[in-house]
Structure 1
Amino acid sequence: MEEICEVLLERPPSDNTAPLEEIIINLSISQLSETITSYRYPNRYQTVASRNFPQLKLALETQAAALADCLRNPRTVRIISHELPSLEVYAFDAIMGKRIRLENNVEWDGDGELVDEVVDEDEDESESDLFDGDSLVAPEIVW
């Protein structure tokens, strides 16, 4: 599956609690072979051009947290994804509202290392395009 729809995790319209106990969605699409390792992200179903993968991931994590609140006995509600360029695998645990780093080849519901998410003031700059004109500094030429 290379596409995912944001409404996948929307809360049920009724006030009833859902009988699900485990929901795990892996957003990392991997193509592993003996010679090539590559990862990519799914596309949005009916893609909106102005929205990208980080926004899709945030929307799914937000909906997963809301859905976890209406499950009768949730054991695991996670959104799995990888980070570039390191290819480290992370899980957003929607029950705890925390992000954890998973070791390679660990089960998707396995334990991981809690990631301390401190928002840095300069974090917005890291999301900008590397070659964006505003992010480039002119070199100083000395003769």
Structure 2
Amino acid sequence: MFKTILVPTDGSERSDKAIANAIDYAQHCKSKIIGISVAEPYPFSPLAESSMAIDPGIYEENVRNLAEQNVKKISDAAQAAGVDCETTTVLSFAPDEEIVNAAKKFNCDVIFMASHGRSGLSRLFLGSKTQKVLAHSSIPVLVLR
């Protein structure tokens, strides 16, 4: 039985499904939820900088706010279900590493996360954050589609 469940979210519908399943499990097993959303920093490119009009500070503030909204979905759903919940947001270019690090930091027993279902060349070239978490996690990972 898992006592502390890490639930990463990017705000997608698939992530919402992972949230719902994690909360359902936590409610039945009296587990705790740790919600995490990783905001990716401004993708700085020296070649494109002269043509870009986006302020990196404003960009990062916006992605941080979005990450906060994403984890708020988790905390609101957990509170409605009577499940203990803690949330965190991180700014990083490597969401998979941050997910694995959070699992260690919060002593999680399992990770409930969504798969975005890429296949073929898009999976090969874009990679999969879920696959990277599976490869580097020392705890079980439940992947929901």
Name the TM-score, length of structure 2 as normaliser. 0.27
Which structure: greater strand fraction? Answer: 1
Higher relative contact order (CA closer than 8 Å, sequence separation 6+): 2
Which structure: greater helix fraction? Answer: 2
